[in-house]
Every structure is written in C-alpha cells, then in structure tokens.
Amino acid sequence: MQVYWIASYPRSGNTFLRIVLHRLFFDARSNLLDDRLPEYDPGNPIEFIAKAERISESTGVVWGKTHAPAPLESPSVKTRGACYIYRHPLDVFLSGLNYIYLQADNSRFREYFIEGIPKSVKQIAHDGELGHYFDLFLREDGLQPFEAFSGKLSENLQSWAERHWSDPQRILIVNYGRLVSDTEEVIKQLLQSAEIDRPDAEIVKAVEFARAVTKPDGAFYWRGEGGTFRKYLTAEQIDIYFNRYETTWRRFGIEHQR
C-alpha cells in the first residue's frame, strides 16, 4: 500500500489542501473527507491501516492526513511522497487557540483554559489574558492539547524538513501563504511528485470548490489570512518568540516576517 502524506502541524492548511484533493479524485461531499483521506494518528495506527487498505484497493494510492512529526512506516505502508504545509507559527498559535475554544466540549481542550472557562481569542484579548496563553505557547513550543498527536511545533517541522532535504523530489515543503495564493501550481507540483496526472481544467474546478467552502467564517475557518498575530501580540512578544525559535526555521531555509 502506497501513501502520499498530507502533513502539517494543526491549523496550517491541511484541511484546505485535502478538500482540493477530495474534489479532484472523489466527489464534492465534504462529509466523506475523513473516510476518503484518512488520518494517521500515532496513537491508533491500526484504524488508519484498515481504512487505507480499503481505499488502496480501488485507487492504488492513499492520500493520508497526518499531524504527526513523522509518518507511519511498516511492511504494509510505503511512503509514495508527502506535502508538508508550514504556517507562520504565531498565526498557528491564534488559530489553534480559536480551534481549542471551538472544541471545548472535549475535556482535554477545556482544561487548557484559565479555570476551565473556554473563551474565544477575541474575548481572551479583551480580558487581558492573551499573555498567559502566549507564554504557554512559547514555553511548550506549541499548543499543549495538540502535543499528544503532533509533538512540539519545532519538532514537527524539523522531522518533515529533514525528510525533504533527503528526498526533495518526493517530499514537498509548502508555505501556507503560497498554498492559498498559488494553489493550482502547488497542486500541479504535488501531482508531479506523486506521479499522477490530472487535466488542468479539473484542477481549476477543484481549487475553486475548495475556496468556496473554506471562506473565513469566524469559526473553523477563522480568519483565512496571514499576519493576524500582529493585531493581537505586542512587538516585544513577537521579538521574544523569534529570538527563541528563528534559528530552527532558518536551518531549513524558512523565513517568517515579524
């Protein structure tokens, strides 16, 4: 069974890319997204293998979602390629905090909030509590509720970037900004990496569909833009974050704007 991984730390554009691929290779019904493009969770690889094997019988290649630092490798699962999406980490911080708020019915997510009281990012900022969550993000190198399946943010990036440098033809590294602004070219590059052909017209339709169903809604598709962190964080906080983590990104030729 061959798997082409759609990988990222949470809140980095994974869903958008999967919707494009789902529309391109299957159909437009988003409720089937997680069945057709199954998720690999390192805590439960058996479930992924079972779904992937059924899909592989009819498609030959499985588009596998993962937020894990590294993909599953076993005698039955071979990596055909991967597209790793990275996003500005401070935008990830705010988008992730918003997502944790939306998922606060989950006790693990709810307990992340001060006194277990879920609040939106806007409310957190209004109440003067954003510094608390920024300090957690800084110290923990990511959002703690994600760590069980994603590891640390820098660890997640590093594991995939190292695979890219060892095999750049098969392991793509794509910036979130480029993914949303130059989607058609990213998809063509991805398909070339996977050694799969699709007509340009089909790619255009799939991209248009994905953009239509992922418009910013203040909820799951929270803002849909880059640089949101500048509206919420101080220049001092931004500098502190860069001073601690910038060398990790630059090792792999990645630059982020302050």
19-45: per-residue pLDDT in tens? 999 999 987 666 788 889 999 988 888
57-109: per-residue pLDDT in tens? 777 889 999 999 987 777 778 889 999 999 999 999 999 999 999 999 999 89
Q: How far apart are CA 1 and CA 17, in angstroms?
A: 22
Q: Domain spans of the chain? A: 2-87+152-213, 89-150+218-250
Cβ contact 79:6 at 8 Å:
no
Superfamily of domain 2-87+152-213: P-loop containing nucleotide triphosphate hydrolases (3.40.50.300)
123-167: per-residue pLDDT in tens? 999 999 999 999 999 999 999 999 999 999 999 999 999 999 989
Q: How far apart are CA 209 and CA 186, in angstroms?
A: 16
Q: What is the DSSP string of 12-40?
A: SSHHHHHHHHHHHHS-S-GGGHHHHS-EE
At which residue do the structure tokens 């958008």 appear? 16
Exposure on the CB side of residue 230, measured as CA atoms within 13 A: 7
Q: pTM here?
A: 0.94
Q: Residue 222: its pLDDT value, please?
A: 85
- DSSP class of residue 217 equals -
Cβ contact 163:242 at 8 Å:
no
Beta strand ranges found along 87-223 (DSSP E)? 171-175
- DSSP class of residue 144 equals G
Cβ contact 111:124 at 8 Å:
no
Q: Which residues contact 57 (CB under 8 A, 6 or more apart)?
A: none
Give the mean pLDDT of 189-203. Answer: 95
Q: Which residues contact 175 (CB under 8 A, 6 or more apart)?
A: 85, 86, 87, 254
What residues does 85 pair with on adjacent strands?
8, 174
